[in-house]
Amino acid sequence: MRIASLAAALLAAGCSAADDPRVQEAARSYDSYGRVDETRRWAPTDCKAPLPEPPRLSASRDAETHGRKLYYLYAKNREAYRLLPEFPQPVGQVIVKESWIPAATSTFAKPVTESRGPLFIMMKTGEPDSDEGWIYATATADGKTITSRGKLASCMECHQSAKNDRLFGLTSCAAAK
């Protein structure tokens, strides 16, 4: 069954975007893909997952204390990801950013993780209602709950500036490892 047909069938059946079995499977099994590399990186502060309903929201906009996280990157097709600058990603590619909240002692030179943060998922489906073939999703740290899925504005704002198929890729030094 083609991916677009599957998406249409899910919508026709009344499934919400969070019920997409492809995204649920990626959130549950991404660690089986293997890390793209072993380098722990600082994520940009713009990556935000929807917050659960809190009793109160902070009005703080301080990027130094909110939103900072460390991450490891996983790719379903690791070799295709490592060839990113030369070739676009194939339909079916899944990229998962496993985020971590940094410890108070963490520095840019020596990052130290404290607790797991949300998962950020990119899936190349080729669907017509996508961002150049990509859909974005977020999930809870344990991968059990999909918190958002689709053409997410907060993801698209950043990834549309990427020069290689909506992906930023590794630095040439990291890619050579």
- For the segment 146-161, the average pLDDT, to the nearest whole number, is 91
Determine the distance from the C-alpha atom of residue 129 to the mean position of all C-alpha atoms in its chain, rounded to a whole number.
Answer: 18
What are the DSSP calls for 88-133, one per residue? Answer: PPPTT-EEEEEEEEEPTT--SSS--EEEEEEEEEEEE---SSSBTT
Residues of the chain with pLDDT > 90: what percent?
38
- Cα angle 53, 25, 7; round to 5: 85
The 10s digit of each residue's pLDDT in 37-75 is 887 778 765 666 655 433 322 233 434 333 467 888 899
Provide φ and ψ at 91, rounded to 5°. Answer: -60, 135
Q: What is the mean pLDDT of the chain?
A: 76
> Domains of the chain: which residue ranges?
17-45+66-175
Does 174 score more than 60 pLDDT? no
Could you tell me if residue 22 is left (phi over 0), alpha (psi between -120 and 50 degrees) or otherwise beta?
A: alpha
Cβ count near 29 (within 10 Å)? 14
Rg (CA), the chain: 16
Could you name the CATH architecture of 17-45+66-175?
3-Layer(bba) Sandwich (3.50)
Q: Could you tell me the pTM of the whole model?
A: 0.70
